[in-house]
Each structure stands twice: as structure tokens, then as C-alpha cells.
Amino acid sequence: MIEVKNVNKSFHGKQILFDVSATFETGQTNLIIGQSGHGKTVLLKSIVGLHQIDSGQIVYDDEVFSEMPFSEQKLIRKKIGMLFQGSALFDSLTVEENVRFPLDMFSDKSLEEKSDRVNFCLNRVNLENVNHLYPSEISGGMQKRVAIARAIALNPQYLFCDEPNSGLDPKTAIVIDELIYEITKEYGITTIINTHDMNSVMAIGEKIIYIYQGRKLWEGNKNDILLAKEEKLNDFVFASELFKRIKENL
């Protein structure tokens, strides 16, 4: 479980996050949703420690991460897998080398053990016979799967995904969502996903927080989001024609 407690964050005197508190559950797909520019990425980066918060606490399974010295934070970082916007694969490395990268950096496994792990992870995301291809030689959906394989290479306890569906067609986006969901369940990972994709919300939103202008305005799950009373959330949820029509039939 990851807890965010009364977090404030500003850049150069401009406040971006206002007293945000939330709990992200173990073994669940936890979603941070909201419009562009309202602070989702800043919140995610604050949780991972890429931004230092002004006040409040970030707690990983009862350990106060935000108040640890860097050397101790490193131990928690080793348990984190990250899936960045885009796929952020290294263009000059093959698929296999990309997935092996965190193992080379952070593990003392032998070459053979690393190869086994790489193949296991690629197999887990249903990729075969692509080990020696470069990212530019595979599709966007496959690149995303490679990025997921890389994110799980070190067997993470925590998985962070920033807009995992960006740039994907709806069908491929569903495949990626399902994969993240399955992996979360299979390994009991605390997964946090930033998204403004309502399809993802309805598919894998086990726990959802809605961020508006840097404040948490609502929390719930995919079953109650369509019935929520929060006006700003409704503006977000029913922005598309499809969801407007769903609302008319509720």
C-alpha cells in the first residue's frame, strides 16, 4: 500500500498540488485521473521521489519514503517498476537489451540468469521472436509491451504507469490495460496509473482518485464513477459523446 498524506508541491512559488491525500491499494490497479495539466504527473513523480514535496508525506508500506535519506530511498526505488509516457525504450538497444537494462544496472545475476529473466518477461507480455529487433522495427503496441516487460524485470512491488495508452489505437490500448491488470493481480503489485482515458477507467479502475486543479476532488471506483455527484468529475467523465449517451441510458 502507498499512502499520500497532505502533500503540497509548488514550482518557483506556483503551487501545483494542494493538500492531496490518498491511499493506493496493494494488488490493485489504482488510477489517478483528471484533465491535462491538473497535476497528475507531478503527483506521480512526487510519489516516486522524482520531485521533492514541500510538505506532507509519501509512505510505502508503513515506511515514510519522503523523509528517508537518499541511500534508504534507493532500497525502495529498487522495488519500483516504471512505465513512462511513450515507451521510453532505448532506440539503440535491441528489445532484449532494453529489458535486460534494469537487470544489468541493479542485479548481480549471471548472464544466463538475466537471459532467462528477460525471456520470462517477454514471454509474459506475449512477445516472441523479437529479442534481436530494435524498437523502430516493432509496432507501438509491441513497444509498450517491451516497456512493460522491462518494468517488471526486477520483480517490482510497485508499478507506476504514466499514460500507458497514449498513442495506441483503442483495441491495442485495451490489451495493454488488461496486461497491466493481470500482472498487478498475478504478482500482488501496488500499481498506480495516470490516465485521462475513460475506457481505461471503466476497464481497470479498481480504485480511482480524481485530481482537479491540483486538488483531489473525488475518490471511488469504476462502479460508482458514473453515478458520482461531483460536478467537475461529471464534466470530465461525460465529456465524450459516447459517455454522454451512456449517461442518458443510466
Burial class (CB in 10 A: 0-12, 13-18, 19+), 59: middle
Identity of the residue numbered 26 = T
Residue ranges of the alpha helices (H) in the chain? 40-48, 70-77, 95-106, 111-124, 140-152, 170-187, 198-204, 231-237, 241-248
CB-nearer residue toward ligand ATP: 35 or 131 = 35
Question: What single-letter DSSP state applies at residue 52?
Answer: -
The whole-angstrom separation of Cα 198 and Cα 242 is 10
Identity of the residue numbered 130 = V
C-alpha cell at position 181? 491488470
What is the nearest approach in angstroms of ligand ATP to the Cβ of residue 104? Answer: 29
CB-nearer residue toward ligand ATP: 24 or 138 = 24
Chain residues that interact with ligand ATP, rule: CB under 6 A: 11, 16, 34, 36-42, 196
What is the nearest approach in angstroms of ligand ATP to the Cβ of residue 38? Answer: 4
CB-nearer residue toward ligand ATP: 50 or 75 = 50
CB-nearer residue toward ligand ATP: 96 or 177 = 177
What is the nearest approach in angstroms of ligand ATP to the Cβ of residue 94? Answer: 29
Question: What single-letter DSSP state applies at residue 215?
Answer: E
CB-nearer residue toward ligand ATP: 138 or 225 = 225
Question: What single-letter DSSP state applies at residue 50?
Answer: S
What is the nearest approach in angstroms of ligand ATP to the Cβ of residue 66? Answer: 17
What is the nearest approach in angstroms of ligand ATP to the Cβ of residue 44? Answer: 8
What is the nearest approach in angstroms of ligand ATP to the Cβ of residue 50? Answer: 9
CB-nearer residue toward ligand ATP: 127 or 161 = 161
The whole-angstrom separation of Cα 212 and Cα 123 is 39
Residue from 71, 25, 26, 16 nearest 209 by CA: 25
The whole-angstrom separation of Cα 45 and Cα 49 is 6
Those residues with Cβ within 8 angstroms of residue 47's Cβ, 6 or more apart along the chain or in another chain: 2, 4, 58, 160, 192
